[in-house]
Amino acid sequence: MPRGGNPPGAGGGAARGQVSSPCPRARPASRRPSECPLTHSLQVVLVLTLVIASAKLAGALATRIHQPSVFGEILAGLVLGPTFLNILAWPVFATPPGADAIPLLTLVRDLAQIGVLLLMFVAGLETDLVMMRHVGKVAFWSAFGGVIVPMIFGTMTAVAFGLPLYWEGIFVGAILTATSVSISAQTLLEIGALRSREGSTILAAAVIDDVMGIIVLSLVVALAKASSDGMNWAVVGIVMLRVAVYFAVAIAARPLLAPVLRWSSSLGVSQALLAAAVVIMFVYAWAAEYVGEIAALTGAYLAGVLIAQTNFKKDIDAGIHPLTYSMFVPLFFISIGLQANARDLGPRAAFAIALIIVAIVAKAIGCAVFAKLFGFSAKGSLRVGIGMIPRGEVELIVAGYGLAAGIIGPDVFSAAVVMVLATTMVAPPLVRLVFPRHAFVPATVEETIAGPPEEGEARA
């Protein structure tokens, strides 16, 4: 018998050369899963497997029924979240006894925030400044009407339902501003109307009002932070000065980006150029929130816009899409559902219904009126207004930021998610109703934000 009186494998430890198990030794037939919970790392692997697979499968199913893939991905998040299955409350995801681990929802949310930054960086890369300068008055003013009218009526709706004007009510208005480029483009591609006059106007206006939505978000966030302890105009002035300094320095650093990227590409290590671009994006995002008092996602978008002006845009664009759309974007969409809980809408159910109606009507009227004022016929302006209805990525990003920053509550966030799902679902049939009938052409467009997508197959 070994020294100490314990036989090998009993009581005091494992025999030399063996790895001790965190689970008590027992016959396999008698061990229950609850007696041996998964380690935190295995829980992370399992939850990522469920999230990514669910998002992609739900997106594929949505396209089969002629809905945008983003609709399926958001819906999958709601199913996995506390609204239905609440997978993170399953015993298999319980924290192991004695473990000091990060909660899985916090981890998923943090990874999703990286996905938001990457998505905004891609949006910046895809922003065509030349196109935006030459897009024409009708697209610009349609986008303007599609931002200002929903924001005004969204704010009024929030206040009518008892939310404070500063800043929750105004933030609700900001959530309604943008249009989903990918959803509009996919529907127009399917009916063969993307290159029509109305289709081109919708696509250009959707890009512009996404950019306007990002600007509105930046201003609202900066002002909300400045007035967190009450409206102090001196503090507001300091915050706006910090915003101006950030943008001035960030844009002034543009000539340095190309040399840095060129140097990284000569290092002779794998994916050094892509890594350098991601580092630049992270620096811009960090500085935006820490220095400029605006949302980090604004900095990520600005980094993409500036890098797009270099000769390395094409190589970076080719590398960033697989990284973004294979893992991080699905995590973002699923995390929205994991944080939302439609069961908690309760007294906010009427608010959610009103928000859906305002989101549809205000966007359609705002865009259609301005399209009519700048040269479209009544029928053409109606098509532009209907085509601008769908919401998607930017609204979810804005709502998620508002929830994380404490500007809006979980009930308002859940109402915003329901609004995005509703507008995503009703827009395609309305577009097919008002546009001339063409043969259906199956099309898939990735979840892009601020750039015109390619016709045909998606890149990711």
SS3 sequence, the chain? Answer: CCCCCCCCCCCCCCCCCCCCCCCCCCCHHHCCHHHCCCCHHHHHHHHHHHHHHHHHHHHHHHHHCCCCHHHHHHHHHHHHCCCCCCHHHCHHHCCCCCCCCCCHHHHHHHHHHHHHHHHHHHHHHHCCHHHHHCCCHHHHHHHHHHHHHHHHHHHHHHHHCCCCHHHHHHHHHHHCCCCCHHHHHHHHHHCCCCCCHHHHHHHHHHHHHHHHHHHHHHHHHHHHHHCCCCCCHHHHHHHHHHHHHHHHHHHHCHHHHHHHHHHHHCCCCCCHHHHHHHHHHHHHHHHHHHCCCCCHHHHHHHHHHHHCCCCCHHHHHHHHHHHHHHHHHHHHHHHHHHHCCHHHCHHHHHHHHHHHHHHHHHHHHHHHHHHHHCCCCHHHHHHHHHHCCCCCHHHHHHHHHHHHCCCCCHHHHHHHHHHHHHHHHHHHHHHHHHCCCCCCCCCCCCCCCCCCCCCCCCCC
pTM: 0.79
CATH code reported for the domain at 131-322+345-434: 1.20.1530.20
pLDDT per residue over 361-417, tens digit each? 999 999 999 999 988 899 999 999 999 998 888 888 899 999 988 899 999 999 999
| Res 141: pLDDT | 93
Q: What is the pLDDT along the chain (460 residues), one digit of tens a residue?
A: 444 444 444 444 444 444 444 444 444 444 454 455 688 889 999 999 999 999 999 999 988 887 778 889 989 999 999 999 999 999 999 887 766 778 898 899 999 999 999 988 998 898 877 776 666 788 899 999 999 999 999 999 999 999 999 889 999 999 999 888 777 777 788 777 777 888 888 888 888 888 888 888 888 888 887 776 666 677 778 888 998 999 999 999 999 999 999 999 999 999 999 999 999 999 999 999 999 888 898 899 999 999 999 999 999 999 999 989 999 989 998 999 888 888 878 788 999 999 999 999 999 999 999 999 988 899 999 999 999 998 888 888 899 999 988 899 999 999 999 999 999 888 888 888 888 765 455 555 555 555 555 444 433 3
